[in-house]
Structure 1
Amino acid sequence: MTPPAPAPARSRLDPDARRRQIIDAVRPLYLARAFNDVSTAELAAAAGVARGLINHYFGSKRDLFIEVMRSSIRMPESELPDLSHLPLAERVRLTMDWILQAAETYGHAWVSVSGAANLHGDSDLQVVVDEADDHAARLTLDAIGLPDDPHLRARLRATAALVKSVCREWLQRETLTRDEALELLTETVLLFATKEKTS
């Protein structure tokens, strides 16, 4: 009689890799349903871990949710070529095209999560949204070759909601074409980035 095959060994991940694995596994649950509609047991099952590991790695279900949002809402980064030799308007247009390409590449997940995060008024989640918006503003200033000036960064942070909304209209609702989305974002960011600061 042939002995049974040994059970496959479970892979042992270092703590950071395990946290990332859990976050990636549970993200679809939060894309599809509200925070309160997802149980810890479902999160653990999706991640393929014991319920106790959710608390071990994240402290609570709420802390896991915040980490999912933090890792998902930041605008995905990809390499942008050097634009310094181009006029400012062209640098802005190419940077907005780069952002739309990233949103398109990462699909509806980023758009859905970035929109969903704004639906929760809790202060800890608002901190995550604010961090992501500030990061996006710094990234945009760097890409278009403007200084990381606090006033300019504040002006660009104010466009963050528009960027998310335009991406939803284009990718999800299909009420805007990509060219329309690009034109709208280019005109808006160019206006916000170049308008003189009033005293």
Structure 2
Amino acid sequence: MNAIRQRLAPAARRQQIIDAASVLYRDRPYDEVSTAELAQAAGVARGLINHYFGDKRELFLEVMRGSILMPESALPDYDGMTLEERARLTMDWILDAATTYGQAWVAASGAANLHGASDVQAIVDEADDRAARLVLDALGLPDTPHLRARLRPLAALTKAICREWLQRGTYTRDESLDLLTDSVLLFVQTPAPPSEGRP
């Protein structure tokens, strides 16, 4: 018996395709997933991939963007906490997010190195900058160019630690939390250069 294709609003159909592609790209590299497979997984005609995304690469970039941008909401309550307590609670929250978004986020984090294209790198850079801003906000620190620049590399370290924990099992969650908490404190507590803030 043929399945009846459900009529969806364009935004819902687009998201359906992204969700199906996310599952395929979580386990396989970009080059090994065909447009026909993407369409079949989403339960749509192949032409709809091109209609909504232009081509397979644009769909991949949408999956990347959704996989590596950390959420901005539901941060813990930090009232009355020290910087050290805020740092540990923030890194704990990020590890929870990595567990939820987990394999897709960790797998996608290396995609810029795998594909080397500027459009992929731009998405990774956007995600790293957004994560730096989120952490500064959570720590109650000002969003200065210097502090944001110090925290952007922490995103790569966070992804590497999460790979060790989630994929390789070489770290426990507690070890990961300790490493990340110590690292974020080191990054933000180093004094600003003498020129910072001068006219």
What corresponds to 1:133 in structure 2? 128
Q: 1:34 aligns with which of 29, 43, 46?
A: 29
Q: TM-score, normalised by structure 2?
A: 0.91
Q: What is the one-letter code of the residue matched to 1:170?
A: W
Superposed counterparts of 1:1-199, under 5 Å: 10-77=5-72, 79-199=74-194
Deviations 1:10-35 (A, max 9, x none): 32222222111100011122122221
Aligned-residue CA RMSD (Å)? 1.8
Q: TM-score, normalised by structure 1?
A: 0.91
Runs (5+) with no aligned partner, structure 1:
none
CA distance in 1, matches of 2:133, 2:38: 34
CA distance in 1, matches of 2:30, 2:100: 26
Q: What is the one-letter code of the residue matched to 1:112?
A: A
CA distance in 2, matches of 1:82, 1:161: 26
* Secondary structure, counterpart of 2:109 in structure 1: helix
Compared CA separation, residues 159 and 182, structure 1 to 2 (3 A) = same
How far the C-alpha of 1:41 sits from its partner, in A, is 0.7
Compared CA separation, residues 64 and 179, structure 1 to 2 (3 A) = same
Q: Is the 8 A contact 1:77 1:102 kept in 2?
A: no
How far the C-alpha of 1:194 sits from its partner, in A, is 1.7
CA distance in 2, matches of 1:84, 1:118: 39
Q: What is the one-letter code of the residue matched to 2:125?
A: D
Q: Is the 8 A contact 2:26 2:103 kept in 1?
A: no
Q: Is the 8 A contact 1:35 1:65 kept in 2?
A: yes
Runs (5+) with no aligned partner, structure 2:
195-199
Tell me the matched-pair count: 194
How far the C-alpha of 1:75 sits from its partner, in A, is 2.1
Q: Is the 8 A contact 2:17 2:42 kept in 1?
A: yes
Compared CA separation, residues 140 and 25, structure 1 to 2 (3 A) = same
* Secondary structure, counterpart of 1:119 in structure 2: helix
Q: Is the 8 A contact 2:39 2:46 kept in 1?
A: yes
Could you tell me the percent identity over the aligned residues? Answer: 68
